[in-house]
Every structure is written in structure tokens, then in C-alpha cells.
Amino acid sequence: MPDSDVVAAAKKRLEESGLPSDWLDAPVHWGVKAKEQATPENGGLRFEYLNVDVYGEVPEVWQNNTEIPRGAIPDTRTEQMGYSIFNKAEVWSDLCAGLYEDAIADRWNSSADIPWDTLEPIGSDLERAVCQIATLMSEYGWTKAQTTGRWLQEISYGYIEVKLFLGTVVFDGARLYEVWRKRALANGGGLGRGGRNWKFLPLTQSYTFSEFCVASIMHDSMLLALLRHGEQLAQTEAERSIYELCQKDIERHLAYFVDHMRYLMLKEPVRREEIHRYMNKAEWYLAKDGDDTLYSALAVVMGDGREGAEEAMVDVAELRREQVETYLGYLRQCHLGDREDRLNEELRKWAGIAPEEEVEKIPV
């Protein structure tokens, strides 16, 4: 109810003019002042600070299929908007709001933030190899943005923080795509050969968001392990900063995916076997796809040309082992440590883990 003469007078003026005035006495949660936390030391007015009073109540089940802002008063005439995700467990992580603001604070610009002038001729084999890697990186960026974007129309406003964060993932995906395209076209090279894309099917085909998340954990963690070798792989300062900046983005994405899956496993432990099936599928496609050209291109870079590639393959094998280990490490963080026992046979070989039947012979 209007609690002051000012509001009553305003209501009267609007009504006399034929304008709706019910918004003036809507039962509002008056007095929420998020600005009070918005100091420069606090990072300004971050989204986390909005979650006070009813506005911070994130329901286990969200009941509304319209675009109504969480905490607003519904208009029951509004059409349903076709969202399909109304369960907190399916998408939630407490980290979302913070990661959203972090993504914005860490934003970078591939045009101006990469010291492109440090690129220099590196010999044709090396340039070919770097461009081959760049081509595959671009493909993943494109796929990441496309497949993440498609989930936006599924998630209801109840979990607004998740959607905001996923918006940054889409944008990061775009940058992952274009920064590597730029690298391929900036130093006397060109694009290489596209990948076979089988490994992306678990992302493009996912029916549930959790399925999309575990497939993303697999791809992101393996990419991250590779990006962490930037120092070794980069030929110039420009590449070094590309590796570094992309690494930071992917770490943020993983922080969300992993924390979300951890939350899901705690809330709905009964879904464990189902989730393993999604991982079975994701790993199967990855193993079968084999990232055909990636490892050979890495060998040419690490071997400093095609002559050294054969020998460098041992280092590449070690890098691929780290990729699988990184993946398993992230899964342990989301209470999916039992994956190691069930890892795809090909990936076991990549990681140098004994075949499952051998492990079973160890006396307990």
C-alpha cells in the first residue's frame, strides 16, 4: 500500500489522466539498497550484492514459464515462453554471479590486447603447424559458443545468474574462435585442415543440460591442459598472450561446470549412473575422433619442424596424458572420482592407466 502522501497524490494524478497507477501500490519489497555495498574496493555494484531479501531467494523449483524477473509481481496474462529448465539442481552453482562479474572484469580484446607486432617469420613447417592448431582451436570456440547459446532459451528466469554467466561463455567462445583465426592469418600462413568434429557431437546432441556440462568438462579440461603448455608452444609474445588469456577464460568456464556438477551430484545422487552414460558417450567420440591432426601439429611445434616431430611425439604423448589426468582431476572435484575406474579404454591408454581388467587383478 502507498505509505506516503506523495504516492497517494501521484496515484490521483495518473488516474485523472487515464494512466494505469497500480504499479504505485504494488506490494513491493521496499528498501533494498544494493548500492550500499558498491564500493570500489568491493568491485563496484557486483551482481552478488543484489541477492538480498526475496530477490536472493533462488527456489528449488521455479514455477513460472514467462520472462518475469525473479522477485517481480506476475502478470498472469503473459504467454509461456517455452523454457524447459525449472529445477535448481539442473543448472545451479553458487559461483555464477561472481564468475559473471569476473568474466566482465577480465574481458579482453583480441584486436588490441595481443602484441601482434611481435609475430615474426618462423619457417614454413612451424607456421603450418601453428596454423593447424589455430584452425582446431577456432572450431572449438565456434562450437562452444553455438552449443552454449542454445541453452539460453531453455533456462527460466529463476536462475538468472546462470544465464548471465552463460552469456559470457558464449562471448568467450566467439573470442576463442576469432583470436585463433587471426593468428592463422597474421603471419604469412593461412588456415589448415578442419577437424572431423565427431568429438563435438556430445555437445551438439545433448538432451539435458547436465549432459552438456560433463561433455564441456571433458573438452574444456583437455583444452586447458594444452593451453597450460603455452609457454612451451608459443613462438612469440603474441602467442604467449593468446595462450594465457584463453586459459583464464577456460578456467572460469570449468569453475562453473565443475561446481554445478558437484552441486548436482550432492542434490541428486541417484543420477550418477545416468551421468556416467553421458561420459561414456563423450569419451567414446573423443577417442574415436582422435583429434587426428592436433597431436601431429603439436609434435611439429615441439620438434621444431617435421624432422624433429617423430622424436617430439614422446612429449606430445606426455601432454595428452596430462589432458586425461586434468579431466579426471576435475571430475574428482565434482564427486565423480569413480570415473577413473570406468574411463574409456582408449583414454586409459592415452593416460597410461592399466586396462580395467588388469586393475581388477590387484588384491584389495
User: Between residue 97 and residue 126, which ones bind another protein under the rule CB under 8 A?
Assistant: 100-101, 104-105, 107, 109-114, 116-117, 125
Residues 24-63 that bind another protein (CB under 8 A): 24, 26, 28-35, 38, 40, 43-47, 50, 52-53, 55
344 belongs to the binding site for another protein (CB under 8 A):
no
User: Quick one: 61 or 185, whose CB is closer to another protein?
Assistant: 185
Considering only 215-223, 229-237, 254-262, 317-325, which stretch makes contact with another protein by CB under 8 A? 317-325
173 is an interface residue for another protein by CB under 8 A: yes
297 counts as binding another protein under rule CB under 8 A:
yes
- Cβ 323 to another protein, closest distance in Å? 10
Quick one: angle between helices 237-267 and 309-333, nearest 10? 30
Minimum CB distance to another protein smaller for 3 or for 231? 3
Helix 209-227 / helix 309-333 crossing angle, nearest 10 deg: 140
Binding to another protein (CB under 8 A) within 139-158 occurs at 139-140, 142-143, 145-147, 149-153, 157
| Identity of the residue, 53 or 274, whose beta carbon is nearer to another protein in the bound complex | 53
Q: Residue written as cell 538468472?
A: 160
Nearer to another protein, 112 or 270 (CB): 112
Torsion 36-41-44-46 (CA) sign:
negative
> Are 170 and 145 within 8 A, CB to CB?
yes
Q: In the range 265-294, which residues lie near another protein by CB under 8 A?
A: 290, 292-293
The residues, any chain, with a CB within 8 Å of residue 234's CB and separated by 6 or more, are 240, 242, 243
Tell me the C-alpha distance between 118 and 237, whole Å: 6
Query: Is there binding between residue 332 and another protein (CB under 8 A)?
Result: no
Site for another protein in 191-210 (CB under 8 A): 191-198, 200-201, 204
Does 345 bind another protein (CB under 8 A)? Our answer is: no
> How big is the CA angle at 142 (ends 89 and 331), to the nearest 5 degrees?
40
C-alpha cell read off for 153: 532459451
What's the DSSP call for residue 208?
S
Q: Does residue 314 touch another protein according to CB under 8 A?
A: yes
Sign of the four-CA dihedral 327, 196, 249, 84: negative
Which uninterrupted H or E stretch holds 102? helix 96-105
Amino acid at 220: D
Mark the segment that binds another protein (CB under 8 A) among 85-93, 220-228, 260-268, 353-361.
353-361
The contact pattern for another protein, residues 56-95, with x = CB under 8 A and - = no contact, is ----------xxxxxxxxxx-xxx-xx-------------
- Beta carbon of residue 162, minimum distance to another protein (angstroms, whole number): 11
264 φ/ψ sector (left φ>0, alpha ψ -120 to 50, else beta): alpha
**Grid cell for residue 113:** 590486447
Please return the burial class of 136, using the count of CB atoms within 10 Å of its CB with bins 0-12, 13-18 and 19+.
Answer: buried
Could you say which residues in the range 204-263 bind another protein, by CB under 8 A? 204
Residue 184 CB, nearest approach to another protein (Å): 8
